[in-house]
Amino acid sequence: MFVYTQKKFTMKNIFKIASGIALSLILFSSCNVENLKETYTPVEVSEVSFTQANINATSIPAAQTSIDIVLSRNTPENAVTVNITSTLPSSITAPASVSFAAGETTAILSINVSKMPVGAQIKGSLSIDESFANKNVAIMTTSLTLAKAYTWVSLGMGQWFDNLALMSASSYGIQPVEVLKAEGFERYRIMNPYANTNQLIASWSEANIGTNRSAYIEFWVLPNDLNVSWGTFWYCGLIYDGAGTDIKAYLPSSLSATYAADDAKSQIDRTDKVVWFYPYWYIDGIGGFGTKYPCVLSFPGGPNLEDYL
């Protein structure tokens, strides 16, 4: 049988109970402090961090050879070298480490982009060795999006002839055009070759004027220093039979591999300072006119095409 016995609380008993509670609190507190030390141990070397989580440099001048990435730290007393890992492609060289001098709060990590191709967008990342940083507060990795851009220089005014889009019954339809050159490269832009809407109407009709019109034609000289090439196609500003039937000037091989031999027709004549283009004129889904309607560029200082053609 359970018998309830009332316990008398004397001053001595109260003291023992209070002492026990106090000891428990001390032990509990000590345990928390120990756990806190295990959870966070301050980094003693440098607390290094990138200053940006993302770097977008998509207009790097083509001649530029390096890009500087800034790192910082909040404990600058001692010199330190920090290990870096990279996921950038082989065309970009990144150092395996970066050094802070004693007293310096920032350091520069230079990556070599001298072999980076122009026009291609490249992505990758740089990361700090975790032993040099507190990952809870530092930017441990910076992601990079890089692209080189050509520096375009005007050569002056030239002339543009298009046998299909601009020539009418009464005129060659020759247009004045500004010609740009990519500094350091055999790459050119013919600016606004189809800006003259009235000439397009005179050559075709008002019903044939489309909404797509290339602001420039970009072309380049191939390594054989004879042939020229361009992107997939350019728009001449005309439609064939209503909306969606743009007449396009294709690089023949871009339209079909069976037309690849026709690429060789497009050539630069450095003596005469002219370029002959033989695009394959085509309307997607309908058909085309082949390469029998050439275009000609006369460079600034080249011949008057009225006399040359």
pLDDT digits (tens, 9 = 90+) for 209-261: 999 999 999 999 999 999 999 999 999 999 999 999 999 999 999 999 999 99
State whether 101 and 244 are in the same domain: no
| pLDDT score recorded for residue 250 | 98
pLDDT at residue 205 tops 90: yes
Pairing of strands 141-149, 54-61: parallel
Asked, for residue 36, whether it belongs to a domain, the answer is no
The CB density around residue 110, as the number of other CB atoms within 10 Å, is 14
Contact 238, 289 (CB under 8 A): no
State whether 106 and 57 are in the same domain: yes
Both tokens assigned to 205 = 């009709």
Highest mean pLDDT among 7-11, 19-23, 24-28, 96-100: 96-100
| pLDDT score recorded for residue 76 | 85
Asked, for residue 13, whether it belongs to a domain, the answer is no
| pLDDT score recorded for residue 26 | 30
Report the SS3 class of residue 264. Answer: helix
At 172, is the pLDDT very low, low, confident or very high (cuts 50, 70, 90)? very high
Residue ranges of alpha helices (H) inside the chain are: 11-39, 197-203, 252-255, 305-308
Domain that includes residue 296, residue range? 152-308
Would the pTM count as exceeding 0.75?
Answer: no
Asked, for residue 21, whether it belongs to a domain, the answer is no
State whether 141 and 164 are in the same domain: no
Report the SS3 class of residue 235. Answer: strand
Query: 244-266 as b/e, with b when 16 or more CB fall inside 10 Å?
Result: ebbbbbbbbbbbeeebeebbeeb
Q: What share of the chain in percent tops pLDDT 90?
A: 76
State whether 257 and 116 are in the same domain: no
pLDDT digit string, tens, across residues 40-52: 444 444 689 999 9
| pLDDT score recorded for residue 77 | 82
| Contacts of 128 by beta carbon, 8 Å cutoff, 6+ apart | 48, 49, 50, 71, 82, 83, 84, 138, 140, 141
User: CA angle, corner 178, sides to 175 and 179, nearest 5?
Assistant: 115
Both tokens assigned to 66 = 């390096």
pLDDT digit string, tens, across residues 153-169: 999 999 999 999 999 99
| pLDDT score recorded for residue 37 | 39
State whether 286 and 177 are in the same domain: yes
Asked, for residue 31, whether it belongs to a domain, the answer is no
State whether 212 and 294 are in the same domain: yes
Contact 277, 228 (CB under 8 A): yes
* Beta-bridge partners for 234: 249
pLDDT at residue 186 tops 90: yes
* Beta-bridge partners for 92: none
Query: What is the number of domains present in the chain?
Result: 2
Asked, for residue 14, whether it belongs to a domain, the answer is no
Phi, psi of 282 (to 5 degrees): -150, 145
| pLDDT score recorded for residue 46 | 61
Q: Which of 34-38, 198-202, 242-246 has the lowest mean pLDDT?
A: 34-38
Summarize the confidence of residues 26-48 as an average pLDDT.
Answer: 46
